[in-house]
Structure 1
Amino acid sequence: MKVADGFWLSKKGYNVNYASQAYKVETTENSIKVLATPYTVMNRGMTLGGPNLEITYSSTSENIIKVHIDHYRGGLDNSPRYELNEDTGYTPVIERTEDKVALTSGDTRVEIKIGDDWDVQFYYKDRHLTGGAWRATSIISESQFTANARMNLQEDDEFFNYPQDAHTTYLREQLKTDIGECIYGFGEKFTPFVKNGQTVETWNCDGGTCSDQSYKTVPFYISSKSYGVLVNSSDKVSFEVNSDTVSKVTFTVPGEELEYFIIGGENLEHVLENYTTLTGKPALPPAYTFGLWLSTSFTTSYDEKTVMSFIDGMKERKIPLQVFHFDCFWMKEYEWCNFEWDKDMFPDPKGLLDKLHNEKGLEVCVWINSYIGQQSKLFDIGKEKGYFIKNLDGSVFQSDMWQPGMAIVDFTNPEACEWFKGLLKKLFDMGVNNIKTDFGERIPTKCKYYNGMDPIKMHNYYTYLYNKCVFEALEDYYGKDKACLFARSATVGAQKFPVHWGGDCYAEYSAMSETLRGGLSLCSSGFGFFSHDMGGFEATAPADVYKRWCAFGLLSTHSRLHGSTSYRVPWVYDEDGDTEACDVLRHYTVLKGRLMPYLWAQANKTHNVGVPMMRSMIVAFSDDTACKYLDQQYMLGDNLCIVPVMNEEGIAEFYVPDCGTWTDIQSGETYEGGKYYKRQCDYFQTPILARPNSIVTYGNFDAEDKMTVVYDYLEKADAVIYGLEDGKSATATIYDSESNKLTDIKAERNANVITVSYNSTDKNFTVTAEGKTVEAKAGTTSVEITL
């Protein structure tokens, strides 16, 4: 929301009052309370008007400073609240001197100047993070004329636009950015990865991957200076990232209160660890979900015969397949969602699912959304029971936007949640293991909910309740360690319900790049796992794009082949006897299977610590200035740098961080750190670079005899040590598929000897360094490699 008119003025129709003086400062055991006035109070007569702001600084978690700003406190308590892990008993350190007061939480500190000249600054240890001084914290009043003019410019759309109600009061904060500081995050954003210069608004939309709209908006950003900011509002938060006042990040919320958190850390990985401590750690998807998923695609024609031909075709070509996904038309047209199989296409769904499980060794996923079409037999039940979102007059909200006459399930109604879970349980009884929770963005604002929550603020929050309900149903049925969604919409805290995929992308290289930017932004916002439609969703990709996307998809945390109007099995891309698409898909599927001991250990770390498994280079290397603008490569776990090839020329351009010599795990080529490289790659040569001073563990996986990524990750495993320098060490852990730790491995180098120690095991595995391999035998605890 842009309000400034140059340096001195505000736009016509807006009156801005800035916090100018900490007129009164009070401290309690765990907070600082400030009465901020819009001018320096010189006499008692100046206290007769306002507007004043009441600002409370506190901490409910280590290294997180909470700032709560009130103008009026008499509003209704009808706002949905993010489920935050706040410790109300946490006690920060508060110190006061004559001219300032400070609150310290762990190593993160806020200092507020007492008296004239408003000044608030945040620090991590002795490192300055950000702050607000002159013309920062403010209250904005919008004239009715301006509000009316703004509303008249908006189309009356029940889903996509912000509601027509006139908000005439806003609270705003402006936090300073340094020269060269870069801002990232805000959920899944397909715009340029560095958000400086952009206007970002948190309002979930179904807009594809080619616009500034987002399926997953999160009012949280991180800075290259290693701090994060969460605005605690499910409303439409408007961020101006160096775009209104070019030296500040400005965020504005409608209404009379504003709350935000400043999150400190040693580096960006630590910041995200602290952020997910507050908002929730990602759940751990089952190990099998890291294998290859294959979809029927969306509007394609398919039945049981088609499904089996796909599955048998993959097996004949020795392409390991783990999950089969049935998209929308597993249900009869016009009847979405009725949670019943189309008997014309699938006369014996239970028998089909049994066959997929028992004969083919596959898991099964089906598509749903939270919309009930009028032709669904569930519509009348939901209407009668009051399970749907309602219009203001009490009638059921309906639309023809997606399904004719559709209603939307109201997940603020506990009975509606139990009803929905019951419908899912019938699918689980049949053998469905996973649910794709599509949509959740097209949620009205001129409506009312069962619990009376503000419908405007429910628009973004709705998806949290929707996915939480489905995830809980999976946990209730299969256990807490076996639940997995394939979700499109999300907001703060939804990382607890993985996995999330990147929405509807076009089948071209530009969309690959958009998808990657969206994934890196999402994973910079606390989400640990990410997937996308391999081959692109809309249209049919040329074979060239498809093959490159197969590599990118199988080098993401989760890998699903899915499209709209055409199938995504590889042989449809091969012509005149060529098998290259099949060969490429097999190559990377087998490679991912071999990497499962490493990937599974990294997934466990993401779950336990909260650091995203797929992360941008700046998150992984916060001190490397060259990483600040990199958005065409990423780290997959701690130790592998992935460079997707996204052009017809087959050229990979990448930067290698300055921490030693990196090694391509496929070709063995080495790259000196701190340099940029350009490399020609065939379809089998996507750069996968192992970090120096690291261990990557490989499993005994071969498509000749294995078609599942769930196997013994220790037996005949190979712990490969990359670029270990003299005097340095490297570590790795191997878990079984149930997350039980099998062994910890540590390698230390002294001159030309690498000593590798590990826990005693009952399985043999090998250790490799610089082409030399030794056997780590069961019952032993160390080996040496002489180079």
Structure 2
Amino acid sequence: MEFIKIENGFSILVNGKKIITHTLERPWIYAGKGEATYDMFRGNFKIKDYLIEKVALDDFEVYKNVDGVIVTFSKRGLNSLKVLFTVEDERTVVKFLENPDKLNRLWLRIDAEKEEHIYGCGEQFSDFDLRGKNYPLWTSEQGVGRNKNTYITFKADERGNAGGDYYTTFFPQPTFVSSRKYYCHVDSSVYMDFDFSHEEFHELQIWGVPEKLIFETGETYVKLVGKLTGLLGKQPELPEWVYEGVWLGIQGGTEVVLNKLENALQKGLKVGGIWAQDWEGIRMTSFGKRLMWNWQWNKELYPKLDVKIKELRERGIRFLGYINPYIAVEGDLFKEASKRGYLAKNNNNEDYLVEFGEFYAGVVDFTIPEACEWYKGVIKKEMIDFGLSGWMADFGEYLPTDVILNNGVSAEIMHNAWPAIWAKINREAVEEAGKLQDVTFFMRAGYTGSQKYCTMMWAGDQNVDWSLDDGLASVIPAALSLGMTGWGLHHSDIGGYTTLFEMKRTKELFMRWAEMATFTAIMRTHEGNRPKDNWQFDSDKETLQHFAKMSRIYTTLKPYTKALVKENSETGVPVQRPLFMHYEQDKRAYDIKYEYLYGRDILVAPVYEPGKAVWKVYLPEDEWVHLWTGDVYRGGEIEVDVPLGKPAVFYRKASKYVEVFKALTEI
């Protein structure tokens, strides 16, 4: 870090890159006070801020000490903030030391360049390059449709404020990566809004005074993401059984599940696991089939499941379930938690109940150490000891801002942090059971810290349609943006999840989604919220044959996929990568969000529109072999045939896995 005095101010350089400039005429810091209101309905938020004051803290005094440079910013001596610019573990750190006037709004301006690209900010579904827009960072339901200009989102907003927008996400994070090859991370969980729409600066709006900002540079994007995961944490390798086939999302009880499994196996489907999210029981609502949130085996719906799990394991097929951090009022676990005082409270010191769509649940208060131990005990006893090899650790983004937590910290501050705390509960339960090499879990909600606790992310509840903002295409930038935020393992519900209004999953959509999922770390189906309205993997013979073929491609890729997951665990380089990660000089690569590199050696360009027989693909300069024809291309924009079962996939001719890739054409 270099602190350089300039006329009427100073600049901060990180390895020669100018990151912060402050002058009397162009201050980098603005501060003030505001009062926020948060209205939540079923995980969807309307957030407003009453801004009391905002002033430029252009006056400054500089002091040097052994730790670095201390600067006190103020406006004619008022609204002062004391800030330390220092270096810790070879990272440039900006620490906020004193806030005597109790300011709770900051606007920080980071130097920008006109042609700069910005990536990250957690999981972003509508955009990959974030330049040109602002992004509120608040974990919530991602929303139905996520585009205010569409009929679906209009109808969803009309019905319960559930429509979402281009920035709504389960997994936001105050971290971005610049094409100038540095990252910026804000160490705080308050509401923030990162604005990348200005040519000369990026403005970070923070509803509080954070502990610190962290900057670090890298010679390459591979090294830069590696450094970022060195700060935030890395995911462990996945259990060996994960690579043995599809995780079939099936519901309906022991007989239904086993019959569907046997039919699939007879048709040649490679199955690694059964994911039965209703293992603990169901309830029906106007939204569709929902689950009974009492995390214990439902013997009526799943008779003899304890025996069947063992039998399936002997055949090489694992059984996975479902859990979330809330417990339904009807269940035994709610009564036990309430009696022990483990539930978060309302203003009347009563158990806070959250409405989840025609039923209510309590919030397990993870700020109570004994409550954490109790909930980990539920996971270990009712799930791991029972024989589950994994589960969906759902939700985490619903924490209401008016809930009273035991630690005394405002839920407004704890809200964003909650998904990572939920991930920590699951991870510790698995580790304490000694099962990290055998048991895995996957989540949709996340925040800073999820990287070192969660074992796998999934993209959440996409629509069962072709929409760019919330359909098949949206999970591509979602995976890429998470990869640039330090998260390397990602997958999605094959075919999507949400069926509302006129939406229904079609045969073609399911088959195209399955083709994309083949080239991800995990292949998993979901019946959706209204299974009878949706096309399923076994709805007809052709679909099942297609799905079986893709599952065999997935398992044949095992040595390659396993190596990618290992690389992610060791270096932090994501499994799904943007093209520019390995082709930095290719200017076109920085704008591509609907293609990805699967590791270093495979390029995937999923078909995300219906009725396509030919698909346009952009290839960075290299020798690329078309998987199905063997034709060699050396870069540029091309067109290839994409019949169902033969998606637009290419591999590098120089790859050491060429023989593995060639074997795919024989399936």
TM-score band, normalised by shorter chain? 0.7 to 0.9
DSSP 3-state at the match of 1:328 = coil
- Residue 132 of structure 2 is matched in structure 1 by 197
1:665 Cα deviation after fit: 3.1
- Residue 555 of structure 1 is matched in structure 2 by 519
Aligned residues of 1:504 and 1:538 also touching (Cα < 8 A): yes
2:195 paired with 1:240: yes
DSSP 3-state at the match of 1:399 = strand
Q: Which stretch shows the higher mean deviation, 368-377 or 383-392?
A: 383-392
- Residue 402 of structure 2 is matched in structure 1 by 446
1:378 Cα deviation after fit: 1.4
Q: Deviations over 1:725-757 (max 9, x none)?
A: xxxxxxxxxxxxxxxxxxxxxxxxxxxxxxxxx
Q: Distance in 1 between matches of 2:269 and 2:432?
A: 33
Q: Distance in 1 between matches of 2:83 and 2:228?
A: 22
2:512 paired with 1:538: no
- Residue 704 of structure 1 is matched in structure 2 by none
2:485 paired with 1:525: yes
Code of the residue aligned with 1:610 in structure 2: it is G
Code of the residue aligned with 2:86 in structure 1: it is S
Q: Distance in 1 between matches of 2:461 and 2:552?
A: 27
1:22 Cα deviation after fit: 4.5
1:402 Cα deviation after fit: 4.3
2:224 paired with 1:271: yes
- Residue 687 of structure 1 is matched in structure 2 by 648
DSSP 3-state at the match of 1:695 = coil
2:72 paired with 1:35: yes
DSSP 3-state at the match of 2:78 = coil
2:565 paired with 1:603: yes
- Residue 654 of structure 1 is matched in structure 2 by 617
DSSP 3-state at the match of 2:657 = strand
Code of the residue aligned with 1:24 in structure 2: it is V
| 1:56 aligned residue (56, 75, 84) | 84
- Residue 631 of structure 1 is matched in structure 2 by 593
- Residue 79 of structure 1 is matched in structure 2 by none
- Cα RMSD of the aligned pairs, angstroms, is 2.7
Code of the residue aligned with 1:56 in structure 2: it is L
Q: Distance in 2 between matches of 1:186 and 1:588?
A: 32
Q: Deviations over 1:77-117 (max 9, x none)?
A: xxxxxxxxxxxxxxxxxxxxxxxxxxxxxxxxxxxxxxxxx
| 1:320 aligned residue (270, 278, 283) | 270
Within a 5 Å distance, the mapping from 1:99-248 to structure 2 comes to 169-208=104-143, 210-211=145-146, 212-242=167-197, 245-248=198-201
2:410 paired with 1:373: no
- Residue 379 of structure 2 is matched in structure 1 by 424
Q: Distance in 2 between matches of 1:690 and 1:203?
A: 38
DSSP 3-state at the match of 1:392 = coil
- Residue 489 of structure 1 is matched in structure 2 by 445
TM-score normalised according to structure 1 size: 0.70
Q: Distance in 2 between matches of 1:368 and 1:543?
A: 30
Aligned residues of 1:397 and 1:447 also touching (Cα < 8 A): yes
**CA 1:287–1:210 in structure 2 vs 1: closer, same or farther (change >3 Å)?**
farther
- Residue 12 of structure 2 is matched in structure 1 by none
DSSP 3-state at the match of 2:55 = strand
**CA 1:572–1:322 in structure 2 vs 1: closer, same or farther (change >3 Å)?**
closer
| 1:387 aligned residue (339, 342, 345) | 342
Which sections of structure 2, spanning at least 5 residues, go unmatched?
1-25, 33-49, 147-166, 284-289
Q: Distance in 2 between matches of 1:492 and 1:537?
A: 26
- Residue 336 of structure 1 is matched in structure 2 by 292
Q: Distance in 1 between matches of 2:176 and 2:561?
A: 27
1:562 Cα deviation after fit: 0.7
1:513 Cα deviation after fit: 0.9
Q: Distance in 2 between matches of 1:462 and 1:290?
A: 30
Q: Distance in 1 between matches of 2:661 and 2:607?
A: 27
TM-score normalised according to structure 2 size: 0.82
Aligned residues of 1:475 and 1:482 also touching (Cα < 8 A): no
2:592 paired with 1:642: no
Q: Distance in 2 between matches of 1:268 and 1:668?
A: 30
Aligned residues of 2:510 and 2:535 also touching (Cα < 8 A): no
Q: Deviations over 1:670-691 (max 9, x none)?
A: 1112x11122211122122223
Q: Distance in 2 between matches of 1:175 and 1:662?
A: 39
Q: Deviations over 1:362-387 (max 9, x none)?
A: 11110111111110111121112111
Q: Which has the higher contact order (CA 8 A, sep 6+)?
A: 2
**CA 1:571–1:394 in structure 2 vs 1: closer, same or farther (change >3 Å)?**
closer
Aligned residues of 2:73 and 2:82 also touching (Cα < 8 A): yes
Q: Deviations over 1:269-305 (max 9, x none)?
A: 21111111011112211132234344445xx6x1111
Q: Which stretch shows the higher mean deviation, 480-489 or 263-272?
A: 480-489
Q: Distance in 1 between matches of 2:644 and 2:475?
A: 20
**CA 1:388–1:74 in structure 2 vs 1: closer, same or farther (change >3 Å)?**
farther
Which sections of structure 1, spanning at least 5 residues, go unmatched?
1-6, 39-45, 76-167, 699-717, 721-765, 767-787
How many residue pairs end up in the alignment? 582
- Residue 503 of structure 1 is matched in structure 2 by 460
1:169 Cα deviation after fit: 3.6
DSSP 3-state at the match of 2:231 = helix
Aligned residues of 1:662 and 1:691 also touching (Cα < 8 A): yes
Q: Which stretch shows the higher mean deviation, 175-184 or 470-479?
A: 470-479
Q: Deviations over 1:613-655 (max 9, x none)?
A: 1112233333321111101110111211111111221332221
- Residue 157 of structure 1 is matched in structure 2 by none
- Residue 465 of structure 1 is matched in structure 2 by 421
1:267 Cα deviation after fit: 1.9
| 2:351 aligned residue (387, 396, 419) | 396
- Residue 310 of structure 2 is matched in structure 1 by 354
1:587 Cα deviation after fit: 1.9
Q: Distance in 1 between matches of 2:353 and 2:518?
A: 40
- Residue 713 of structure 1 is matched in structure 2 by none
**CA 1:323–1:639 in structure 2 vs 1: closer, same or farther (change >3 Å)?**
same
1:494 Cα deviation after fit: 0.8
Q: Distance in 2 between matches of 1:223 and 1:328?
A: 43
| 2:389 aligned residue (417, 433, 445) | 433
Q: Distance in 2 between matches of 1:467 and 1:347?
A: 30
| 1:512 aligned residue (472, 477, 482) | 472
- Residue 566 of structure 1 is matched in structure 2 by 531
Q: Distance in 2 between matches of 1:203 and 1:292?
A: 35
**CA 1:605–1:335 in structure 2 vs 1: closer, same or farther (change >3 Å)?**
closer
Q: Deviations over 1:647-667 (max 9, x none)?
A: 221332221112x31112332
Aligned residues of 1:24 and 1:36 also touching (Cα < 8 A): no
Aligned residues of 2:595 and 2:606 also touching (Cα < 8 A): yes
DSSP 3-state at the match of 1:690 = strand
**CA 1:401–1:241 in structure 2 vs 1: closer, same or farther (change >3 Å)?**
same
Aligned residues of 2:278 and 2:291 also touching (Cα < 8 A): no
DSSP 3-state at the match of 2:351 = coil
Aligned residues of 2:376 and 2:429 also touching (Cα < 8 A): yes
Percent of counterpart pairs with the same letter?
A: 22
